[in-house]
Homo-oligomer: A and B are copies of this chain.
Amino acid sequence: MIKQQHSAGGRGWTAGIDVGGTKTLLCLTGPDGGIISKRKLDTLLGGEPGGFMSWLFAQLAQLCRDHGTELAGLAGVGIGLPGVVDESSGILSCAPALGWPEEDIRPWIRREYEGIVVLDNDVNMAALGEQAAGAAAGREHFAMLTVGTGIGGALYLNGQLYRGAAFAAGEFGYLLLEPDDLPSGEPGAAAQQFGALESKASGTGIALEAARCQADGPLCAVLSGLAAGGPVTAQHVFAAAAQGSGLCARVLDRAFVLMAMAVANLAVTLNPQLVVLGGGVVDKNAEYAAELARRVRALSPVAVDIRRAELGNEAGAVGAAAAARRALFISFF
């Protein structure tokens, strides 16, 4: 029976969709998780969830037809969204990139597709992708930590995603690692701020910190030259440090110290087998993961493997398809 459902002609295929603030990636996978096809689109922005889902499933139906099957023949669809997704209520919140009202989005999906649908946030789906076919393949316990514009992450514990009591697990950008990180305001003020760790160690934080040092002290000629009058970016800081800028080396050293403390703290808190590093800052700097791993080894009494994510921008869609496959097995047995 199961074998039959998983046989040829599109049967047993699942789709994974990663909806981003600018691009949306669709991916068709076979019963074993192998990618059959993928397609990248500009995300339809500025509308309501109803119109968006009509557009999204029309695109997915076209992709299915292009590969000799149809939408209704898919065994399931996973969708990663850039916001907080409450699986049990279907409510998507904190999704400024889409600008939708905070509501149950499942009815809009159900109008377009009647099979198994799994919703989750994009970082959780990326972690599932790395677990299915990337740096965390086959692992039961790992953390994913993304260093880009901000710092975020996901937890995969005991063989499943761990979302916390209110979907706020893995908000690593808010880690406090020095007493001067303490917000001075009223209760609740902390929630509005860029997190303490990400304000110093994200791509944004590294760029701002270097710009601040430039403003406070003597200009670093290397960094100024690279920025060429425009705003300083994290990549300028990495490049300037590689070219001998002491200022940029100090800014990066500070960011690495804080990230190493954060990862060492994850190791003694959760004892994961692995920490997978993703995000633009990690992707663009080949030595980032190795440098962080070296520093963590010197700090942590609990051993933890540290690896760069392997699936890049495809992790979310691959993970969303994997999530749909998992749901399929749960409904079979």
Taking beta carbons and an 8 Å cutoff, which residues of A are in contact with B? Answer: 140-141, 155, 157-158, 160, 162-179, 181-183, 185-187, 190-193, 195, 257-258, 261, 264-273, 297-303
Select which of B190, B266, B271, B301 is within 8 A of A300 by beta carbon: B190
10 closest Cβ contacts across the A-B interface? A164-B271, A191-B301, A168-B271, A174-B268, A171-B268, A165-B273, A169-B271, A190-B301, A187-B297, A176-B261
Residues of B near A193 (CB, < 8 A) are 301
Q: Find chain B residues with CB under 8 A from A300 CB.
A: 174, 190
Contact between chains at B257 and A174 (CB < 8 Å): no
- Copies held by the complex: 2
| CB–CB B182/A268 < 8 A | no
State which of B158, B269, B270, B298 has its C-beta within 8 Å of the C-beta of A186: B298
Smallest CB-CB separation from A158: which chain B residue?
A: B162
Task: Identify the interface centre among A163, A168, A303: most chain B CB within 10 Å of its CB.
Answer: A168
Chain B residues within an 8 Å CB radius of A192 = 301
In the bound complex, how far is the Cα of B301 from the Cα of A192, in angstroms?
8
Q: How far is the CA of A261 from the CA of B266 in the complex (A)?
A: 14
* A to B CB contacts below 8 Å, 21 in the list: A155-B269, A155-B270, A157-B157, A165-B272, A165-B273, A166-B302, A166-B303, A168-B267, A171-B301, A174-B301, A175-B268, A176-B261, A177-B178, A178-B178, A179-B261, A182-B299, A183-B298, A186-B298, A193-B301, A269-B269, A269-B270
How far, in whole Å, are A170 and B173 apart by their CA atoms in the complex?
A: 21
| Complex contacts, A265 vs chain B, CB 8 Å | 175-176, 265
How many whole Å from A212's CB to the nearest CB in chain B?
Answer: 18
Bound: A258/B266 CA distance, A: 16
Interface SS of chain A: helix, strand, loop or mixed? loop
Which residues on B sit within 8 Å (CB–CB) of A169?
A: 269-271
CA of A170 to CA of B165, assembled, Å: 18
Specify which of B140, B170, B177, B183 is in contact with A269 (CB 8 Å cutoff). Answer: B170
Chain B residues near A176 (CB-CB < 8 A): 177, 261, 264-265, 299
Taking a contact as CB atoms under 8 Å apart, the answer to whether A172 and B269 are in contact is yes
Residues in B with CB closer than 8 Å to A171 are 268-269, 271, 301-302
Please measure, in the bound complex, the distance between the C-alpha atom of A165 and the C-alpha atom of B271, giving whole angstroms.
6
Choice from B162, B261, B267, B303 contacting A270 with Cβ under 8 Å = B162
Asked if B266 contacts A179 (CB within 8 A), the reply is: no
- Give Cα A193–Cα B191 distance, bound, in whole angstroms: 35
A155 to B: closest C-beta gap in Å: 8
Contact A165 B183 (CB under 8 A): no
Once bound together, how far apart are the Cα atoms of A258 and B176, in whole Å? Answer: 10
Q: Which B residues lie within 8 Å of A157 (CB)?
A: 157-158, 162
User: Which residues of chain B are within 8 angstroms of A186 by Cβ–Cβ distance?
Assistant: 298
Cβ contact within 8 Å between B298 and A261:
no
